[in-house]
Each structure stands twice: as C-alpha cells, then as structure tokens.
Structure 1
Amino acid sequence: MDVVSDAISAVHLGHPWFHRMRTDGTWCARLDPYDGAGFYVVVKGRCWLVTDNRAPVLLGVGDAVLLPHGTGHVIADFPIDPATARTEAVPFEESLAGQPEPPTGREPCGTEVICGTYWLDCSRMHPLMAELPEIVHLPHRVGDHPELRAAVDLLAGELDEVKCGSCVALPSLLDLLLVYMIRAWMTEARDGTWPRVLGDPVTAAALRALHSDPGAPWSTGRLAAEAGVSRPTLARRFTALVGRPPMAYLTWWRLVRAATLLRDTQDTLAAIAGRVGYGSPYALSHAFQREFGVTPGRYRAQATARSAAVGAG
C-alpha cells in the first residue's frame, strides 16, 4: 500500500451514497455539516457552491468538487444570486423531492449534477486527509487530469442507463473518483505539506517502506538504508517534513492500522498485533488505549455499530 491509498482506506466506510440531479427550474439546496466527504460533478449547466468560509464558487460543465471535511454548504442554480442563496435554500432532501417553479422572468437552466457522499471515520484521520482544504475545486480544462476525466465519463455513462454489473461498477467508479480527486489536488497544491512530503525522494521512500510493511522490525538505521541516506539525514528530513520522527510516525501508523483491522476484519487481537509489529495482544492493547482512549474491544464494538448505521443509511 502507498501513503495515499492507506490514508483513504483508514477512514473510508462502506459504499458511497450518490444521486443524479436533473433540474429544469430554479433550485437552491442546503446541506448541514456531516461526517463524510461530499462531491459534485457538473454534467450540464452551471451552479453555485456557497460555504461560510470562502467566496462562492461557480461550477461549470465538467467541473469536479470534493468537500473532504463534510462542510455545510448551499448549492444553487446559476441564476440565483449567491449572496442570497442561504436565505432561499431548502434542505437537500426536500430539493430532491421536487423542484419549485421558477419565478417570473427567470428562465430554467437545465442543470444536471452527479452528487454524493463518502462516509468517513474521522476519529483517526491521516494528516494527508486532514490537510485537504474545505473545497477542492477541479475545473474542467482540456488535458488536465485525464484519469479523473475518464472516471467522470465512465460514471456518467453508467448512470445514463441500467447495465449488467452496474451495482458493482458504480461504487467502484465512485471510489476511483475519490482517489483521482485527491491525486489531482496533490498535483496542483502549491503550498501543501503532504505534496512536499511525497515529492521529497528520501521521505517518500521511507514512507513507502513503512506503509508497505508496518509490522516489520524497523529501526532508523534500517529505514535510512531503504531510503539510501544516513540515519541523521533521514531523521532530519523526515521530521522536518512530516512533523514527527520516523519511529514516532511508525508507532502512530501501526495503531491506526490496528484500528482499521479491528473495524474491517474479524481477526483476533493476537493476529492483528502480529500484523502491525506488536509482540503480544497485551502490548498492543496498552498502546491502543493510550492512543485512542478506548480498549481494542470497545473500539471494535463502536466501529461495528457505526458501519451498520452507515449501511442502513
């Protein structure tokens, strides 16, 4: 596993919810903050995205947007003044139930948007995910991010008509969309910490080694050899970029991996301890409780209940 894949897998819960909005009248919908990441892809027309903390964003055909922290927002058709959108907005579910007639003098815009939510467990967010801005806006530009554009086209094609295998294809395409949106942000980010981290060959090599086998008996010397530098060089560069020394990062990541395995598998605590580099279930349990404030058993019960609630939703 690479860092980006691991960062997503650590928080991703269940299958994403999605909907295709087709509107012929004016509309203005409000979503309150939620535990997840929202997305929009504009297939036709234009619309506004309005949040509390930044200027309104005008979205056009082919634009993709990720709201990685479940920020409350308003989305509205283009003729609506974004300055008044909050006062005109109705709850999103009500907006889906039926569109109001456009006021006199305002022509329908014929907007079509693919939207949805990725359910996330934000209790142990990787710093790469935590660093994502409130809105990741990826405007459609010819030649930019071909993988993202291909995923958008495939997703729209699957939604155009029911096809064999769609129940498998759609969730997979939506998961690809999330990966490609984060990847696109990383290539465009000018001042982000984690794009710099993964752009540094020494730190990136060390992180690849740790994430590929977190249960291995790593030491600073062994990790420095993997990265092809001295121990002082690795410690200095890794700590400066990541914000913690290599072995401290490894300890934290082992516990996050243990939490993910408790959530996603039925493996025993002893088996999980072996996979993440702890010599005994007791050692893992002690470290886990110190990091997360709950025992592994209690964490697994809470995670099971949370996943069941997501599945029911």
Structure 2
Amino acid sequence: MDALAGLLEGPRAKGAFLIRACFDPPWSVRIEDRAPVSVMVMLRGEGWLIPDDGEKIHLGTNDIAVARGPEPYVCADDPATEPRAVILPDGRCTAPDGSEAKDYIDLGTRTWGGRTDGAAVMLVGTYQMQGELSSRLLDALPPQLVLRKDVWDCKLTPLLAEEIVRDEPGQEVVLDRLLDLLLIATLRAWFASPEASPPAWYLALGDPVVGVALRALQDDPAHPWTVAELAARAGVSRAALARHFTELVGEPPMAYLTGWRLALAADLLRDTALTVGAIARKAGYGSPFALSTAFKREYGVSPAEFREGRGGAGLGAGVPTGLR
C-alpha cells in the first residue's frame, strides 16, 4: 500500500460527504468543520477560496481546489462578501451569529444553497478520515492548492456532476469511488506541477532502485526485512541501497520501516477492534510487548492508551445537518 492508497483507506472505510452547492451572488460560506481534506470543483461560475491566513485563491469554472484542514476558510463570490452560513464540526450549519441558517437550504438530492439553477455551482467532497499513514501525504500538501482548467482538464468532473444528483441503490458507494478517483488524480497532477514540492519519499517512489525497496516495505511491513534482502530485490549492494535510500528518502531503510509499521499500528488501533497482539503481528512486531515499547517511544502513550483516546479522532469532519 503506497502513501496515496494509505490516504484513501479512511474514506473507503468510513464514507465521504458530497454536496452540490448552488448560489447566486452575493454568497459566502465559512468552513470550520476541521475536516482533514476537502476537494472542491467550481462546476459553474466563479468564486474565491479565502483562508484566514494566506493568499486568497480565485476559482474559475472547472478549476479544482483542495483544502487541507483543520484551519478554517471561506468560500465566496467575492473576498469582501461576509459569510452567510458557517459549517461546524459537530454537524451543524448555522448563521454566523449561531442562530438557525436561513439563507441556504436543502434543495434536494445532495444539493444545498440558494436555488438549484444558481449562477455558481460548486461540487464539494469532504473526507472524514484521520490516520497516521494518510498524514504522511497530507502534511506534504499546502493548506490550499488549485489546479486550473487550462493546465489540467479532469475527465472525472462531468461524471461526478452527473452522479451526485442521482438517487439509486448503491449510489453512496459509487460517489465514494468517484471522489477517491478525483482526489488521487488531482494529487498526482499537483505533485507533477512545477509549483509543487513533493516530499522526498514521493519522489523516491519513481527511482528504479529506491522505489523497489519502498514499495516492498509498504506492501508487506510485517515481513522481517533486512537491508540485504531489500538490496537483492533492487539488484544493488547493501551499501549502495542504504546510501541511495538515505539520500532520496531522508532516513535509512530500517528507520523508514519502523515509522511505517508504527503508523500502521496507530491506524489499526484507531479504526479496528483487533487485539494488540493481532496488530503487532500485522505491523511486523514479534509480540505485543515489542510493539508497546516501540509505540510508547514514538507516541508517548501505550497502544491501549492511544486506542482509548482514539488518537485524537475528535477532529473528524462535520456534515451539515439535514444535507445527507
């Protein structure tokens, strides 16, 4: 499982929230849902993505934006337009003063806003996962990024726009998969763009030597890997692999493996009911004691304490009440 696959493990397991937001100017919505990541497509018209700190981003028709939480931001027709609704992490959509939101309402199947044929239509997909494996990728993203229509023409957008308003058996699964595809395609395109600064491990996946070793570690972390075995797979000497791996990834192979194993263990503790012993085996540790020792060194708490607190899972994404 590579890091892009790891990013999608949460949404695939828990489901993601999709809405078609329709507005006439002036319109403005403040997002305070603390979602780990949201994807926005300006399907019609134009708008602005306005973070509390940072540069304002103009969105034209068919531009795609990604916002990384938990920092709040505003989506509006103009940076000067005051918010008329606030999306909160407890699933509420309120007016800015905390009273009931009246300017924007439920308009039908996964549709919300002022009126269905509004001048501006935005597709919004909000992920609700929170995991250690996915954080490796999310931490590499800027708080907000945008891919312009004239730079990258996403073929998934028309299909998502068509499917989001359908109400048929299994539709939630269809939409989850489409959103997964949209996100992974967007991130691939972003990391390939000149303005992006991909993390070292992401670039290293494309290396003919280090990429082989990285994929082996990620695909089977429970295997008792050695540098010698990884080097044999990559077709180089142990010294050559260790040197090249450290140069590209920023840490030696076994240090990377330890971090990957502990991240996997943290996700399994948070999202499954597996015993610590079973998690230890899946993560490549010989016993629960060995996992507990390494886990406490990395996270400062035991696996049991981490599970009890769910690793800070209270930062999940909120879904506006009544919009599902």
TM over 0.5, yes or no? yes
Shift of 1:152: 2.1
Corresponding residue for residue 83 of structure 2 = 89
**Taking every aligned residue pair, what percent have the same amino acid on both sides?**
38
Q: Which has the higher helix share?
A: 1
Higher relative contact order (CA 8 A, sep 6+): 2
The answer (yes or no) to whether the contact 2:7–2:134 under 8 Å persists in 1 is yes
* Alpha-carbon separation, structure 2, partners of 1:201 and 1:238: 11
Corresponding residue for residue 39 of structure 1 = 39
Which residue, 225, 231, 234 being the options, matches 2:238?
A: 231
Shift of 1:97: 4.1
Shift of 1:249: 0.7
Rate the CA distance shift 1:308–1:89 in 2: closer, same or farther, 3 A.
Answer: closer
Q: Report how many aligned residue pairs link the two structures.
A: 296
* Alpha-carbon separation, structure 1, partners of 2:240 and 2:308: 42
Rate the CA distance shift 1:265–1:201 in 2: closer, same or farther, 3 A.
Answer: same
Which residue, 163, 170, 179 being the options, matches 1:165?
A: 170
- Alignment of 1:131 with 2:137, yes or no, is no
List aligned pairs for 1:151-162, cutoff 5 A: 151-162=156-167
Shift of 1:218: 0.6
The answer (yes or no) to whether the contact 1:45–1:111 under 8 Å persists in 2 is yes
List aligned pairs for 1:199-238, cutoff 5 A: 199-238=206-245
Corresponding residue for residue 112 of structure 2 = none
TM-align CA RMSD: 3.0
* Alpha-carbon separation, structure 2, partners of 1:298 and 1:127: 22
Shift of 1:46: 0.6
Amino acid paired to 2:268: L
Shift of 1:211: 0.7
Shift of 1:69: 3.2
The answer (yes or no) to whether the contact 2:22–2:118 under 8 Å persists in 1 is no
Segments of 5+ residues of structure 1 without an aligned counterpart are: 101-107
Return 29-38 or 302-311, whichever deviates more. 302-311
List aligned pairs for 1:1-313, cutoff 5 A: 1-9=1-9, 14-32=14-32, 34-77=34-77, 80=78, 82=79, 84-85=80-81, 88-92=82-86, 93-94=93-94, 97-98=102-103, 110-121=119-130, 126-141=135-150, 144=152, 149-189=154-194, 190-194=196-200, 195-303=202-310, 306=313
* Alpha-carbon separation, structure 1, partners of 2:118 and 2:43: 12
1:93-137 Cα offsets, whole Å, 9 max, x none, are: 34774259xxxxxxx970000113212326665433211112121
The answer (yes or no) to whether the contact 2:22–2:120 under 8 Å persists in 1 is yes
1:220-279 Cα offsets, whole Å, 9 max, x none, are: 111111122222221122112222111001011111111122223222222221222111
Return 276-285 or 27-36, whichever deviates more. 27-36
* Alpha-carbon separation, structure 2, partners of 1:99 and 1:6: 35
Rate the CA distance shift 1:255–1:311 in 2: closer, same or farther, 3 A.
Answer: same
Report the TM-score, using the length of structure 1 for normalisation: 0.83
The answer (yes or no) to whether the contact 1:36–1:120 under 8 Å persists in 2 is yes
